Every structure is written in structure tokens, then in C-alpha cells.
Structure 1
Amino acid sequence: MTIKAFIPNFVTLLNLFCGSVAVIFAVNNHFVFAAFFVFLGIFFDFFDGLLARKLKVQSELGLQLDSLADMVTSGLVPGIIMFKLLELASHNKAFTSINDWTASMQWSGFKLNLLPFIGLFITLASAYRLARFNLDEDQQSYFKGLPTPANALLILSLPLILEFQNNDLINATILNKWFLIGLTIASCYLLNSPIKLFALKFKDWTFKTNAVRYIFIILSIVLLIVLHFAAIPIIIALYILLSLFNNIN
């Protein structure tokens, strides 16, 4: 293997490294740091494929390595985060303020509770989605089902909203076990749904060809500026809705 051919794989390994670090932070309830390394891993995930195409060194090894890295960064980490959130929700009668969220993080005991393990279904659904993606040769210009990085951003946004938004109603909603269970089920379905979602791959830069992509990017930037981390779930919903609209036309 030439050095040029190894460059994209090295970037993929950086994704895997970030995901591994994020696992450590997530297990230890350091969700903000876990989210940071997931975001960094997704950044590397975006550029490894781009580099492979630009350098014309795409390979089966790179494809498999990319999925293995995504399995950790965008599959295992969100599953652990959901496990932790369900654990917190099931050990606290009510969360009404950011103080309740902060205090809950000091809990250090252990009691076996089967409910939080539901969160790991996200990891299982992510693995199944990645395996299907590797076997599907049609998903070049679009995705079939929600990509694992997008799903990871959705799940990782929850502790960030709790940490930085400080809204009592939102806090109580996020740390409601029924909301978390419902989101887990929705996440597993979206990952493996037959819905065709557009990919952010530009063959050219014309607005006519990439209208839905430009609209999505502009609206996403506006939402992030206005709503900060609370914008992420809305952006994921917008992504799905724009894809459905794009499929009709």
C-alpha cells in the first residue's frame, strides 16, 4: 500500500480513535467531552471518503474500515449515552431544573436496572444499518435510512441541551423515561427505514442541481445560531422532511 493510499485510512483511524475516547468519557458520565470527540470523529468520517475520492484510492479495505470506525463513534457511543440517560431517568422521580440534572451526575452507586439496557438497541440498530450499507451498491447519491452519524448527533444533542440550554420544561421532557424509550424506538426505525435521504455530496456547485442541499445547509445554520444545541433534533427532522419532499419531486 502506498502512502497516498493510506492517507484516507489514517483519517478513518482518527475517527475510530475519537470514538474510543468518547466511549471512555461517556461511561464516566462526562457527556460534554464525549460529544466533543464524537463531533470530531464525524468530522474525520466526512473527510476520509472525500480524500479517497480526490486521491483516487478508494478501496474495499477503506469501506470496511470506515464502517468499523462508525460502529464505535456513531453506534456504540450513542447507545451508551442513551443507556446513561435512561439510567438517570429511572433513578430520579422527577427532573424539573438544571440543578436536578447536575445533582444526579454525582450518583455513584450501582443497582441493576434492566430499563437502561433498552438504550443499547441503538447500537444494535446501528450495526445492522452499517452492515446493510456495505452490501448495498445503490446508496451512492442518497442514503436509505438515517446515516449513523446523523443519528449520533441526534442522541448526543440531548445531554448537551441539558447541560447548556437550562430550560425546565425541556429538561423534564428529555429525562422522562417514556420519551427516551420512544426516541430509542424511533432511532432504531429511522436507521433501518426504507426512506431515501439525500447525501451532502456535491457533483457540481449549481443551485438548480443542489437546491435541497443549499436550503438544508442555510436553514441548519440559522437554527443553530438561534437555538444552539436545541436546534440539532429540529435539523434532523428537517433533513428527513426535505428528503421526503425531494423524493416526491
Structure 2
Amino acid sequence: MGIVLANIIAIYRRELQSYFVSPLAYAIAGVFWFISGLFFVTILFGPDGILPAVAAIDLQGQQGVPVPLIDVPYEFIRAFLDRMGWLLLFILPILSMGLYAEERKRGTLELLATSPLTNWAVAVGKLLGVVTFLITMVAPLLIFEAIAIGASNPPMSPVILLVGHLGLILLAAAILSLGMFISSLTDSTILAAVMTFALVLLLLFVDLIAKSIGGPVGEAIAHLSLLKHFNTFIQGIFDTSALILFASYIFLGIFLTAQSIDALRFQRQ
């Protein structure tokens, strides 16, 4: 067990270091932060933003018109994390496309496949590395969110903020895990990104397919939707069934990746 853990840590450190010396990784982070900033400003100050809507409601209230109550911090966090989830749809396939495809292209995947390292250790280490890099991208956004909700009265419960970001990280880990498996199947990073994007689209909109089928089968298929369970988290609801679903996707991606590398190991024997 100790040897396996040491191998996972070694792969994890190697993978994480590769991101912090990669110009592509910095470019991805820059684009992510720029678009996130645009979403932040638009949600708060845009024509259909939260603050103009609150100002309009206050004006109606002063005029004696009955107005609905709005939980501004909650609506902001929910809307912002929803946008972040859609942004990750485009960012994550780019992050995952080179996890194994680059190894194939450089010829180092064969070395990994025939090394004493277990396939599971390699897959887990690589996934932990890319997820950690993603967390470093998401963490600065907490500063902007804290500033936006810091002046709320009454103060917003931090549980909603934490649960929402947990859902964002779990969604990302599930997509990255599946993208890692697809990356292990080809030496083309572009093809890996396109295939991952297509798979994520299918998993995000599987609930629409389920509605068209209907009945018990449709209800069963609807539970596979990433979008449905992600929305549960960003509403501040810690749902164990959603947690199990994301964990299942993560495990499935690691398992399929390990089997893919094991097949390559068998071919090289």
C-alpha cells in the first residue's frame, strides 16, 4: 500500500509540475479568469444583472407597489456558479486532452505501460494533478465572490458557498476523469478534446433525452445527468445521491483508463 501511495504521489507531482511550466496551461488559466471576470461583472452590473434588478424593485417599493423579496447573495452565487459550469464545458476538454495523448505522441506511454507502476497509480496521479491545477484556477474567484457577498445583510451562510464550489469541483473531476480515458485512446490531442466535448454534451443533456423517453426508463436515465446534479449543489443542497453519481463517474474514468493502459501493456508483452 505504501509503495502504491508513493507511486501516486510521484506521478501527481510530475503531472502538476508539468502544468506550471506549460505555456498552454497559463493561457487556459488566463482565458478562464478573463471570461470569469466578464461573467462576474455582467451578473452584478449588466442590463439584466442583479443590482439593477434590486434597484428597480426598491423603486417600486418606494412607490407602494408590492414587490417580491430577493435573496441577492444566493441569487448571485447560484448564477455565477451556473456560468462557471458552462465555461468548464469548454475548458476541461482542453485540460484533459493531453493527459495521455501527449504521452502517446512522445512515445513515453509505452514506458509507463511497461513500468512497475500500476495503471491505477498512474491514472489516479494524473487525475489528481489536473484537478489540483483546476482548483488553483478556481480559488482566486472566491476572493471576488467574498467581496460581492461580504456586505450582504443578513450575511449569507458560508455553507451555500462551500457546497456550490464542491459541486463545481466534483463536476470538473468527473469530466476530467472521462476525458483522461478518451485521451488514453488516441495520440491526437485535438481528437481527444473533440471527443471529450461531445461526451460531456451528451452527459449534460441526458435529462432531455430522458424526458423524451419517459416512464421508469426515462427516470433512470435522468439520474445520469451531470447538469441535474450540479444544479443541486449550486442551490446549496448537499445531496448524497449527487455525490455518489459524481464519484461513480470519477471511478469509471479511472477504471477505463487503467484498462486502456493495461491493454497497451498486454500488446507490448
Report the TM-score when normalising by structure 1: 0.33
Instruction: Kindly indicate which of the two structures has a greater share of residues assigned to helix.
Output: 2
Report the TM-score when normalising by structure 2: 0.32
Q: Compare relative contact order (CA 8 Å, sep 6+) and give the higher one, 1 or 2.
A: 2
Larger CA Rg, structure 1 vs 2: 2
